[in-house]
Amino acid sequence: MASKQSVLAQALYQHFQATIQLIQAALALEWTILTRFIVGVIVATILSILYLVWTLRDSQQPLHVWEKLNKPLIKLFRPKIFAFLLSGVNPYVGSIDLRVSTFSKGFCTGIMRSNYCSTPYDSIHATALATLAETVGELALLSTLKAKDRAILTSVNMEFKKKARGLLTASSDFTPPSTNEESNEAKTVVVIKDRLLDTVAVAHLVWNVKRSEV
């Protein structure tokens, strides 16, 4: 009787060990598949980003670039990638740590922090605000132009309302003139607000637009 119980206990123990080994093998297999999937997604995302950066680096249509970056996973890095591409066209953009948050035809919103642009008075430098306003206003304008059209800034008028500190948001809403107008002059207005939604500065920009005949 004792011998039968010993054999039964040994069989149960072996069955228990086999079950544990089977579970471990299944978990290892699932982990391997999951790991390969994650690595594959990361590699595919990196390759896609490199491809987009290479193909879009010389594009003169910022809205086209912004829309091209609106892809799964890549969209998470869109503000940084767009800022990198933008700094390649305009090196001054890299000095103000600008991140475009919203961009559509005729409308642009950008965010800037005061990490590298502070003055001894613990406020953001006026030239940094002017660069922020110029960049956002230009993007809003360029989004309404054709691929071969060009815009040259001819006048900047900055109205400083209060000291700029912390996170700033600049926005510009540009409505293209009617097609009947022959004037090449375009005006954009950029409003810069702080995190309390107080207006920090207002920029009035005048552009000379050279339109292509094609």
Instruction: Write out the two tokens for 6.
Output: 């010993």
Alpha carbons 82 and 105: distance in angstroms, whole number: 16
Q: What is the pLDDT of residue 117?
A: 61
**2-56 and 78-89 helices, crossing angle to 10°:** 30
Q: What is the pLDDT of residue 113?
A: 79
Neighbours of 105 (CB within 10 A): 11
DSSP assignments along the chain, one per residue: -HHHHHHHHHHHHHHHHHHHHHHHHHHHHHHHHHHHHHHHHHHHHHHHHHHHHHHHTT-S-HHHHHHHT-STTGGGGHHHHHHHHHHHH-GGGGGTTEEEEEEETTEEEEEE-SSS-B-TTSSB-HHHHHHHHHHHHHHHHHTTS-TT-EEEEEEEEEEE-S---S-EEEEEE--PPPTT----EEEEEEEEEETT--EEEEEEEEEEEE----
- Do the beta carbons of residue 128 and residue 201 sit within 8 Å? no
Domain 92-210 CATH superfamily: Hotdog Thioesterase (3.10.129.10)
Q: What is the pLDDT of residue 70?
A: 86
Q: What is the pLDDT of residue 100?
A: 93
3-state secondary structure 53-93: HHHHCCCCCHHHHHHHCCCCCHHHHHHHHHHHHHHHHCHHH
Alpha carbons 128 and 97: distance in angstroms, whole number: 10
- What is the residue-level pLDDT of the chain in tens, covering all 214 positions? 556 557 666 766 676 777 777 777 766 766 676 676 777 777 777 776 676 666 666 667 888 888 888 887 788 888 888 888 888 888 888 788 889 999 999 999 999 976 656 666 677 888 889 999 999 999 999 999 888 888 899 999 999 999 888 899 999 999 887 655 556 889 999 999 999 999 999 999 999 988 776 5
User: What pTM did the predictor assign?
Assistant: 0.74
Q: What is the pLDDT of residue 150?
A: 87
Q: What is the pLDDT of residue 4?
A: 57
Q: What is the pLDDT of residue 2?
A: 54
Q: What is the pLDDT of residue 26?
A: 67
- Do the beta carbons of residue 144 and residue 174 sit within 8 Å? yes
Amino acid letter for position 30? E
Q: What is the pLDDT of residue 197?
A: 92
